[in-house]
Amino acid sequence: MKIIKRSDIVIISSNLTDDTPTYNKDNTYKKDDVIQNNHVRYKSLLDNNQESLDKEAYWENLGATNDYAAFDFFLNTQSQKEEKIEIVLSAKENNALYLANLWGERIKVEVIEIKSARVLEDKEWLLFGEEITDWREYFFGDWQERRRKDVYFERSTLGRDAAYRITLFASNDTAKIGHIVCSKARELGISLYKNSLSAIDFSKIETDEQGNTSLTKGNYKKTNSFDVAIPNNQLDFCVNAFIELRGEPCVFVITQAYKSLINYAILKKWEVLLEKRNMAIASLELEGLV
């Protein structure tokens, strides 16, 4: 298993924009005016509003601005751009990159030298249609409904003077990125075959007094329960790492063999069983973030 903790990202260049007016404390705002301050958008709830943004009775927090939505805490907020998104970014330790809640045709990741922009390595993924194997599948299959929403990438080249150039293509459509994590991938034990995955559904079912039922489709969280083998000489290191992960969102790579076993989540529960002579078994429970 590998974990990738969130770290501070340096945005070198980006074609993402946001035209929301900047908040001015000397201005007076009317109801439904939308402004932004420090990459966060707010909507005025009253007319003749001169109050500060920290007063919830006067301002509604609308979340991150479009140019920052891919870098906030949440997966379901998306940065958007017609046709193509192109971002060049780096981080202090950056051998791994995770891109979530994607919408587009294909996405390309290039590792480049910061000074020269020389491409060191690159990889490209189709976000839909990658499972088409023949013409029957193309014309009669349901491949258009099977979209890839997440991409995980580890670079093989060494060196700190490197950045990622991310290009998301969406011809005649809007390209969208929900979340970006760039940091160092760290090994924490060996994932065992025993594993279960599920999802917490936030959809609402409401029934009125006459028995009429309505359904509102909501978001969901992925959950995983699995075991990890830990050699005895790494036991203290892994236990300390589990403790430090409390309340901290991370990308958990249980295995790269299946997309569903990569989860941006928190470590909800863990337990280490000292039942083997040469290794311990850690049982982990993850709760994905929306």
Name the β-bridge partners of 37: 40
Gap between the Cα atoms of 262 and 147, Å rounded = 16
* 194 contacts 226 by C-beta, under 8 angstroms: yes
The answer to whether 7 touches 183, Cβ cutoff 8 Å, is yes
At 270 the pLDDT is 95
β-pair type (279-288, 262-273): antiparallel
Q: Quick one: residue 179, left, alpha or beta (phi over 0 = left, psi -120 to 50 = alpha)? A: beta
Instruction: Please report the pLDDT score of residue 141 as a whole number.
Output: 58
> Which pLDDT score is estimated for 285?
94
Q: Which fold has domain 5-9+73-185?
A: Jelly Rolls (2.60.120)
Per-residue pLDDT tens digits of the chain, which is 290 residues long: 999 998 999 999 999 999 999 999 999 999 999 999 999 999 999 999 999 999 999 999 999 999 999 999 888 899 999 999 999 999 888 899 999 999 999 999 999 998 888 999 999 999 876 555 555 655 555 555 567 889 999 999 877 789 999 999 999 999 999 999 999 999 999 999 778 889 888 898 888 888 888 888 888 888 999 999 999 999 999 999 999 999 899 999 999 888 889 999 999 999 999 877 889 999 999 999 87
Cβ(238)–Cβ(244) below 8 Å: no
Do 75 and 166 form a contact (C-beta atoms < 8 A)? Answer: no
Q: What is the DSSP letter of 283?
A: E
The whole-angstrom separation of Cα 1 and Cα 190 is 5
Note the pLDDT of residue 145. Answer: 56
**30 and 47 in contact (C-beta within 8 Å)?**
yes
pLDDT of residue 278: 86
CA-to-CA dists, residue 80 to 65, 87, 104, 125, 151, angstroms: 10, 12, 10, 19, 17
Domain boundaries, the chain: 5-9+73-185, 186-288
Give the model's pLDDT for residue 147: 76
Q: What CA–CA distances, in Å, run from 134 to 126, 130, 145?
A: 16, 11, 17
pLDDT given for residue 132 in this prediction: 55
Q: Which two tokens stand for residue 186?
A: 């760290």
Q: For the domain 186-288, what is the CATH code?
A: 2.40.30
- Determine the pLDDT at residue 75: 87
